[in-house]
Amino acid sequence: MILIALAGVGAGAINAVVGSGTLITFPTLVALGFPPVTATMSNAVGLVAGGVSGTWGYRRELKGQGRLLKWQMPASFLGALVGAWLLLHLPEKVFIQVVPVLLIAALLLVVLGPKIQGWARRRAERSGQAPGHVPPVKLTLLVFGTFAVGIYGGYFTAAQGILLVGVMGALLTESMQRMNAAKNLLSLIVNLVAAVSYTVVAFDRISWLVVLLIAVGSTIGGFLGAHYGRKLSPGVLRAVIVVVGLIGLWRLLTV
């Protein structure tokens, strides 16, 4: 119980700052003997509380992002519904085999993000676009990418934050902290949809003691992560994302 609660604190903090806290709680639950599907569903339900605290902690950075979020939020919602359906109807190993590939791709996008953003800014300046302007093609790609990450998050949840930051970093010229705030909100929507779906369809397969422990721990961790994460420079934040992502990749391949 202590280990699960501590894993919840760590997951809540990392989710607020980076968005791959499940890579701590999921392997912990599996290592303690919980079946993978039970671990996935219980973890998703428990981390909703941490998602709320992390999103609230970054509420200032959400201001002015409504123009994009009004498209991204429905995409996350619909993607999460599809992902939750997949978890309940397909063998878990089918999707888990794809996780390392998606995580590597996301980390590459995060690393290349500054160069991609610089190129996007220079192109926007040459074309006379206002800062923050998103052309229709990029908006379409952004919505599609958000929907795809929502499917992933509704199924497995792990590292969806890194994927979201990677997608937004490749398409937008927003600061890392503002993208991180949007990531927290979108991840919360995905986790909430997945949690409700799991609860309605598979209530008896969820460990509610695990849910309680992770919920309490992740709530505390979410506040801590939001408080200290805002103080990190973009370079440090990207470094944290890459380090956590590599650790998560290693754990996924070895647990």
Question: What burial class does residue 254 get, using C-beta atoms within 10 Å of its C-beta: 0-12 exposed, 13-18 middle, 19+ buried?
Answer: exposed
Split at pLDDT 50, 70, 90, the class of 90 is: confident
Contacts of residue 205, defined as CB under 8 A and 6 or more positions apart, other chains included, come to 37, 38, 41, 198
Per residue in 201-217, pLDDT tens? 889 889 999 999 999 99
Contacts of residue 175, defined as CB under 8 A and 6 or more positions apart, other chains included, come to 234
Residue 213: per-residue pLDDT: 96
Show me where the domains of the chain are located.
1-254
How long, in residues, is the chain? Answer: 255
**CA–CA distance, 73 with 229 (Å, rounded to integer):** 23
Q: Is the pLDDT confidence value at 23 over 70?
A: yes
Tokens found for residue 140: 């379409």
Q: How far is CA 76 from CA 19, 51, 194, 244, in A?
A: 15, 14, 11, 23
Q: Chain-wide mean pLDDT for the chain?
A: 81
Longest dimension (CA), the chain: 58
Residue 24: per-residue pLDDT: 80
Q: Is the pLDDT confidence value at 118 over 70?
A: no
Residue 131: per-residue pLDDT: 52
158 vs 44, which has greater pLDDT? 44
Per residue in 25-50, pLDDT tens? 888 888 888 887 888 889 989 989 88
DSSP for 213-236, please give it.
HHHHHHHHHHHHHHHHHTTS-HHH
Per residue in 119-139, pLDDT tens? 655 655 565 555 556 778 888
